[in-house]
């Protein structure tokens, strides 16, 4: 019995000593909690970004207005070196001035639909019959030759809906978090060889449609119902729709219920006539774009930097609330909390704290990749490391938030097991806020990857999904009303603490071992 107790005590002391190796400043955390939880401004920040300055499509005038607001706010909080960091060329922007769509026959009803970004204006109101293009081969396309001009062309089949019996909003369960915590080291993902037949026909279909010149192509997204429409960008005849002078057909995504109704009418051989007007302008004449950068200078380690950020741009149908005013508001609020903490405690960060708000993320992480290529490392078109620059060694970490309004539940370590004990010490003080999980797993699709790819410790936080994928992500319902205030307060508080403690360490965060870039067996262009 005594041996068992002694062994337990030794194990406990060993665990305590491990945690003690990574100091946590409880005094600073108390101040951070006060400003982050009790005196939060995060929802007001989010309202400015969404209600006043949303949506924020890359290259659009509204993004420029939002950028001016954010820079002024950072300066008012006392940040230094507030500036725009140019990247590009991105190409032309786009702004929707007016849009409406109606069914005119065999009966009238207003249609819920949105033009895809970079769709051109129509010549006032246009009216035409609807045709369903039922073809999956080049031979089947021939039956429509010469028959699509002046028509609205449906390009998707009907989508059968199922009534919701499960909740739309979900949070991570203890079982799911345990699975994440127990996940093994991620393995290197092989290059995927996509079947070429589907891609080849898509190119053929696109060329055929541009030859036929219909009034518009109409689709319905693969998800969404009850009036929620998921919309992104239009495709051009050649290249990208953002290219100056690119030819782009009007392209519309319709609410699935309205799409299905029209489709069923056509199946009954009942002709359908639609009317539509798009008034849109192309913007951003110089083709260049900008990220927002601001800093709190460090002290004895001021040449080293802790970065934290989120993407500031959005799509165009909602106001870009959960994607990604949520992340941007959290990072701006974390910036405010950090400045208030410095003022209240008198303790200055050892390393320079640098907030970055990225643009062009929705089109391919362009802003963060542009920043990395300009300042930190040479990369190829896929973001793979080619050569590091001197400043790369000075970045201790980059923290990112971009998975909606959900509270932070932990951190994706991106296979960097060396930071596990450090992050455990920093995360434990926030167990009461539901943040407990560290996973070796990778997560993708957002700006931390630009830093991770060039050897800098880049991290995305684990978040509750809430209704991100089911309702708000890239949809017309992505508005301020679907932000959860308590979640964003919690997230800003934890981010501020992580940034602060990273700045105060004697050493930069440990880095994962870089692997050589694996070349694909064969290249395939779209």
pLDDT in tens, 173-186: 999 999 999 999 99
Query: Which backbone phi and psi does 94 adopt, to 5 degrees?
Result: -160, 140
pLDDT digits (tens, 9 = 90+) for 488-524: 999 999 999 999 999 999 999 999 887 544 433 333 3
Query: Could you tell me the two tokens for 186?
Result: 């991620």
Listed residue (254, 223, 225, 212) closest to 116, CA to CA: 254
**Residue 275 bridge partners (DSSP):** 102, 127
- Could you give the 3-state DSSP secondary structure of residue 52? helix
Residue 10, pLDDT > 50, answer no
In sequence order, what are the residues at sequence separation of 6 or more whose Cβ sits closer than 8 angstroms to the Cβ of residue 393?
none
Residue 349, pLDDT > 80, answer yes
CA distance 243 to 225: 32
Cβ–Cβ under 8 Å, residues 143 and 135:
yes
Domains, the chain: 24-91+286-504 (3.40.630.10), 95-160+193-283 (3.50.30.30)
In sequence order, what are the residues at sequence separation of 6 or more whose Cβ sits closer than 8 angstroms to the Cβ of residue 74?
82, 292, 294, 332, 335, 355
Query: Which backbone phi and psi does 81 adopt, to 5 degrees?
Result: 50, 40
In this prediction, residue 14 carries a pLDDT of 39
Residue 4 exposed, middle or buried by CB count within 10 Å (0-12, 13-18, 19+): exposed
CA distance 41 to 323: 19
Residue 99, pLDDT > 80, answer yes
- Average pLDDT, integer, range 94-123: 98
Taking CA atoms, 485 is separated from 142, 232, 430, in Å, by 55, 27, 17
pLDDT digits (tens, 9 = 90+) for 268-316: 999 999 999 999 999 999 999 999 999 999 999 999 999 999 999 999 9
Buried/exposed code over 171-208 (b: 16+ C-beta within 10 A; e: otherwise): ebeeeebeebeeeeeeeeeeeeeeeeeeeebeeebbeb
CA distance 305 to 298: 8
Across the chain, mean pLDDT equals 92
- Could you give the 3-state DSSP secondary structure of residue 156? coil
Taking CA atoms, 191 is separated from 378, 397, 524, in Å, by 22, 28, 11
Listed residue (520, 421, 491, 401) closest to 33, CA to CA: 491
Query: Could you tell me the two tokens for 13?
Result: 């002391």
CA distance 307 to 322: 22
Residue 158, pLDDT > 80, answer yes
pLDDT digits (tens, 9 = 90+) for 452-479: 999 999 999 999 999 999 999 999 999 9
Residue 5, pLDDT > 80, answer no
Buried/exposed code over 29-46 (b: 16+ C-beta within 10 A; e: otherwise): bebbbbbbeeebbbbebb
In this prediction, residue 380 carries a pLDDT of 83
Cβ–Cβ under 8 Å, residues 466 and 404:
yes
- Average pLDDT, integer, range 149-154: 98
pTM for this one?
Answer: 0.92
β-strand 351-358 against 395-400: which pairing, if any?
A: unpaired
CA distance 285 to 87: 14
- Average pLDDT, integer, range 6-18: 41
76 falls in which pLDDT band (50, 70, 90)?
Answer: very high
Cβ–Cβ under 8 Å, residues 408 and 462:
yes
Cβ–Cβ under 8 Å, residues 70 and 332:
yes
Cβ–Cβ under 8 Å, residues 287 and 105:
no
Region of 365 (left: φ > 0; alpha: ψ -120 to 50; beta: rest) is: left
In this prediction, residue 524 carries a pLDDT of 37
Taking CA atoms, 140 is separated from 91, 147, 205, 208, in Å, by 36, 13, 11, 12
CA distance 342 to 354: 15
Cβ–Cβ under 8 Å, residues 133 and 147:
no
In this prediction, residue 515 carries a pLDDT of 59
pLDDT digits (tens, 9 = 90+) for 186-216: 987 554 444 555 678 889 999 999 999 999 9
pLDDT digits (tens, 9 = 90+) for 410-422: 999 999 999 999 9
């Amino acid at each position: 019995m005594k041996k068992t107790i002694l062994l337990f005590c030794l194990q406990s002391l060993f665990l305590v000593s491990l945690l003690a190796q990574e100091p946590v400043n409880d005094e600073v955390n108390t101040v951070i909690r006060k400003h982050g939880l009790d005196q939060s401004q995060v929802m007001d920040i989010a309202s400015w970004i969404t209600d006043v300055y949303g949506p924020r499509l890359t290259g659009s005038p509204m993004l420029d207005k939002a950028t001016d607001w954010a820079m002024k706010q950072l300066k008012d909080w006392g940040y230094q070196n507030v500036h725009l960091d140019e990247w590009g060329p991105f190409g032309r922007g786009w702004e929707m001035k007016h849009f409406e769509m109606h069914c005119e026959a065999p009966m009238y009803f207003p249609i819920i639909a949105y033009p895809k970004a970079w769709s051109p204006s129509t010549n006032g109101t246009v009216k035409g019959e609807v045709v369903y293009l039922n073809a999956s081969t080049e031979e089947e396309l021939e039956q429509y030759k010469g028959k699509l001009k002046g028509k609205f062309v449906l390009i998707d089949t009907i989508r059968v809906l199922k009534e919701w019996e499960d909740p739309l909003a979900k949070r991570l369960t203890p079982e799911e978090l345990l699975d994440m915590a127990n996940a093994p080291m991620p393995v290197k993902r092989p290059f995927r060889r996509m079947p070429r037949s589907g891609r080849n026909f898509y190119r053929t279909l696109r060329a055929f449609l541009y030859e036929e010149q219909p009034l518009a192509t109409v689709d319905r997204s693969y998800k969404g119902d009850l009036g929620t429409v998921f919309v992104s960008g239009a495709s051009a005849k050649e290249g990208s729709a953002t290219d100056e002078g690119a030819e782009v057909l009007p392209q519309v995504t319709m609410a699935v219920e309205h799409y299905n109704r029209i489709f069923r009418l056509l199946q009954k051989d009942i002709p359908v006539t639609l009317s539509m007007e798009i008034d849109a302008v192309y913007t951003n004449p110089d083709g260049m774009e900008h990220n927002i950068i601001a800093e709190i200078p460090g002290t004895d380690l001021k040449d080293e930097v802790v970065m934290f950020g989120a993407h500031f741009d959005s799509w165009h149908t909602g106001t870009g609330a959960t994607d990604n005013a949520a992340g941007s508001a959290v990072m701006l609020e974390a910036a405010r909390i950090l400045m208030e903490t410095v003022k209240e405690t008198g303790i200055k960060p050892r390393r320079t704290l640098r907030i970055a708000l990225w643009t062009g993320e929705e089109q391919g992480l362009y802003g963060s990749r542009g920043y990395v290529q300009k300042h930190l490392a040479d990369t190829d078109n896929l973001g793979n490391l080619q050569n590091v620059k001197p400043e790369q060694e000075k970045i201790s970490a980059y923290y990112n938030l971009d998975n909606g309004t959900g509270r932070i539940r932990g951190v994706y370590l991106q296979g960097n097991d060396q930071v596990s004990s450090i992050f455990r010490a920093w995360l434990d003080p926030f167990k009461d806020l539901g943040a407990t999980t560290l996973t070796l797993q990778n997560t993708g699709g957002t700006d931390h990857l630009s830093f991770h790819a060039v050897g800098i410790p880049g991290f995305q936080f684990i978040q509750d999904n809430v209704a991100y994928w089911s309702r708000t992500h890239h949809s017309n319902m992505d508005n301020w009303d679907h932000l959860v205030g308590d979640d964003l307060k919690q997230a800003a508080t934890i981010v501020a603490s992580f940034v602060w403690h990273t700045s105060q360490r004697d050493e930069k965060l440990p880095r994962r071992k870089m692997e050589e870039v694996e070349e694909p067996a064969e290249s395939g262009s779209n």
